[in-house]
Chain A
Amino acid sequence: MKKLNVTTALIPILLLTLVMPSAFAAVLPSGDEIAHNINARDEGLSVSRTVLMEMTDKRGKQRIRKTRGFRKYFGDEKRTAIYYLTPKNIKDTAFMTYDYADASVDDDQWLYLPAMRKVRRISASDRGDYFLGTDFTYEEIKQETRVSIEDYSRKTIGKEIIDGHSTFIAESIPVDKKTAKELGHSKVTQWIDAEIWMIRKAEFDSLRGKPLKTIYTREIKQVQEIWTAHLLEVKNHKTGHTTKFIFSEVDYQTPISDDLFTERALRRGL
């Protein structure tokens, strides 16, 4: 047998080593491609669902809200309405947002507070504020399982198996300091399911670069052939507070009246 020359044997390995990173990178979609795939995922023209919001502080004290939520596309414009059913002290509180396709146009948002019996216009620019005592921001409530294309620059940094599912890991940095301040974080690292383009996990860093919160998307099942998360769980690392959104009675097919997305509907409630 001819003795193998060590140098000759190493050349292919070295070549392979040099080629592998670029070859591996070639199979990873770019951050923007992933974002577009996430947003291209079918989420139905409209949906209605019941959302149980469980909020637990670091001492274990729990508050529970039951809501009924509706979302509907009017062309490129997305309208969302959330009606509180329980507990008694905030029953009939309602929130509505109009999200316009033109990103340069601010969303319009309204809040109905039953104690005032008035629908109040609220500013949509503080999208990093937490939504009605939860650990989700107004922006996250609006985006649901989608992402904002124009707010971030993105890169894909790897792949990982999460809960038995293959995911791409994407790092998103707000495009500028103003956007970061509005959103309330300096970086988001997301684990995106490589098959169904659903974000399974997202870690947020605070404006100071410290761990802020982690969102888990769980119990992803098909409803009327649309992949649907039935549990969103967020843990705030700064406060120890956690919020769970548990979805049920999800319906993409029953028509939703346009009138549900009006001020008078907000006042009247469900």
Chain B
Amino acid sequence: MVYNKPSRALLSVCIALVSTTATAAIDSVISIDNEWAYSTTEKKTHKFETTIQPEIEIDLGRDTQLTAIGRIRNDTKNNIDANKSTDSELRELYIETTIGRSFLTLGKQQIVWGESDGLKVLDVVNPQEWREFILDDFDESRIPLWTVNAEVPINDFTLQLLWIPDQTYHKFAEGNDLYTFTSPQLIPHPPPGIAVVMAAEERPNNTFQDADWGARLSTFWNGWDLTFNYLYHFDDNPVLYRQLSLTPSGPVATITPRYERSHLIGTTFSNAFGSLTLRGEVGYSLDRYISTNAISDNDGVIKTNELAYVIGLDWFGFSDTLLSAQIFQSYLSNNDAGMLRDNRETTTTFLARRNFINETLTTELLWIHNTDLNDGIARLKVSYQICDEITAGVGADIFYGNQLGLFGQFKDRDQLITSIEVHF
């Protein structure tokens, strides 16, 4: 595990605070989760994964607490990640303390913004691990970052300030991994006859100059929960710059992944009206870069701005039941020919969840549908809490649509799942 200088500094602060504590109340939990996934298209097991997640909380006194969360994963089938069957990491390590009425959280942590479920407009402070596409819970796939996080109450508002010196970005499945992206909407494909050379990735490396900054102002006003967000960050998707050249063996496209800065300005809102809850988030990003297949383009990318929003409605009209629908749309300010994605994208989601037997049995259907390419995924899940410590579940993930789409590219990855979670 490699930490840059600010990360080491934050780690040192955490260790120093713990070591100065003479007597500390300790609370710990270990979660063990086993998931078996059976591919209905290939008629074989493509995942048998056990995840062990130890978590420890140490009360250091004076409203100060240290939290450490680790994770060890082992997939005996070696399909999710073709290169390794086992990985382990320190997921989170942070100190929480209060200064007056303000909260300070220092260390490796997750910051969650936004109001939507399963879709991301403002929940982009932390990068994501795409190892299992979107099948992992966001809590599991979000990559915690070394962050200074201060929450300061100011009259009826709370101002959250973030400084993130950690230059970790999205982690994608690669090569023969089960969920490697192939959709031409995501991966540029050069015309036939042009060879492709991948150059080394250019990552920001000045920990202070290249740190991300963020601020969120939140309030409760006339029944509305409102936030106003700003994030000055490196987009977690590398921009794939292309350089065409002629060599003795023919034309070559050299692709250089490079991370670029972006400003994100956004807002979220939610309120309840009788049995309905309305929630939404809007984000406007400056300086996004979209790959283009147009040979005439100099560097293979188009600079553009993006407006994205999610509006969701939750309906609690039936007892023990939640029906929820969301619409997500994204508009690009540019619409040049050859751009890998359309300048408008629309995705809808529908969630039905019902609890039975005093919330020990839960059934759930989540349907995500992209209306542009008519592809999507339906996820069914039934879980039963055997006792406080053990929950068992069965489910199915069904992809559909053509292989050009984000979801359709995995249409041969349909799976049946059984799972068991133990907490002690």
Contacts and interface: CB of A to CB of B under 8 A. Distances in A.
Contact of B359 (A118, A133, A239, A259): A133
A91 B31 CA distance: 13
A123 B220 CA distance: 16
Contacts of A3: none
B103 A91 contact: no
Interface of B: 29, 31, 96, 101, 103, 110, 112, 114-115, 117, 137-139, 151, 153, 158, 218, 220, 223, 225, 270-277, 279, 314, 316-317, 319-320, 355, 357-360, 385, 387-389, 391, 421, 423-424
A64 B272 contact: no
B316 A129 contact: yes
A239 B360 CA distance: 13
B387 A268 contact: no
Contacts of B158: 262-264
Nearest to B391: A89
A117 B112 contact: yes
19 contacts: A57-B358, A88-B423, A88-B424, A89-B31, A91-B29, A106-B273, A108-B223, A116-B139, A117-B110, A121-B271, A121-B279, A123-B272, A126-B317, A129-B320, A130-B358, A133-B358, A133-B359, A259-B101, A263-B220
Given A184-B319, A263-B220, A121 B277 contact: yes
B424 A122 contact: no
Interface in A176-193: 184
B277 A87 contact: no
A88 B30 CA distance: 9
Contacts of A118: 112, 114-115
A231 B31 CA distance: 32
B275 A122 contact: no
Given A87-B388, A121-B279, A126-B316, A132 B359 contact: yes
Given A63-B388, A122-B316, A263 B272 contact: no
Contacts of A130: 320, 358-359
Given A64-B388, A87-B389, A122-B272, A263 B225 contact: yes
A148 to B, nearest CB: 17
Leading 10 A-B pairs by shortest Cβ distance: A133-B359, A87-B388, A88-B423, A123-B316, A88-B29, A121-B270, A117-B112, A133-B358, A89-B423, A125-B274
A174 B24 CA distance: 52
Contacts of A57: 357-358, 360
Given A55-B358, A106-B274, A124-B272, A264 B151 contact: yes
Contacts of B358: 55, 57, 130, 133-135, 239, 241
A140 B166 CA distance: 47
Interface string A115-156: 111111111111011101111000000000000000000000
A85 B421 CA distance: 19
A108 B151 contact: no
A61 interface: yes
A264 B319 contact: no
Contact of B275 (A87, A89, A108, A126): A126
A46 interface: no
Contacts of A133: 355, 358-360
A124 B317 CA distance: 11
A130 B220 CA distance: 26
